[in-house]
Amino acid sequence: MSETIFSKIINREIDADIVHEDDQCLAFRDINAQAPMHILVIPKKPIDMLVNAEADDQALLGHLLLTARQVAKDEGYSDAFRLVVNNGEAVGQSVFHLHVHILAGRDFSWPPG
């Protein structure tokens, strides 16, 4: 996987408003927020898209979701938030480093998009 803005954030080459970090992932506020709370959770392991995750990434993928839940709770949104994972440019993925968007603090419509 080529270097991305997210790998530069992981390596502390670019500043970010980090709200959570552990040995497997990092969570930080999106600079182009689409909701009052818009935080990205990214794995430290470089995976470009969900479709390219492997079977041995199962625990990491679960960890990302559990981390998203905890971050939402820590931000005061434990009972109402949306998680989004885009897979591919055609559906809005602009940084090719797997990431989970946590959005909360406003009404959302269905279907999204």
Q: Would you state the pLDDT for residue 112?
A: 83
Query: Does residue 92 carry a pLDDT above 80?
Result: yes
Catalytic site residue from 38, 97, 99, 101: 99
- 39: helix, strand or coil: strand
101 assigned to active site: no
DSSP secondary structure string, 46-61? --S-GGG--GGGHHHH
Domain boundaries, the chain: 5-104
How far is residue 75's CA from residue 25's CA, in Å, rounded to a whole number?
Answer: 17
Q: What is the pLDDT of residues 21-68, one digit of tens each?
A: 999 999 999 999 999 999 999 999 999 999 999 999 999 999 999 999
Q: Would you state the pLDDT for residue 48?
A: 96
Query: Does residue 1 carry a pLDDT above 90?
Result: no
Query: Does residue 108 carry a pLDDT above 70?
Result: yes
Which homologous superfamily does the CATH classification assign to the domain defined by 5-104? HIT-like (3.30.428.10)
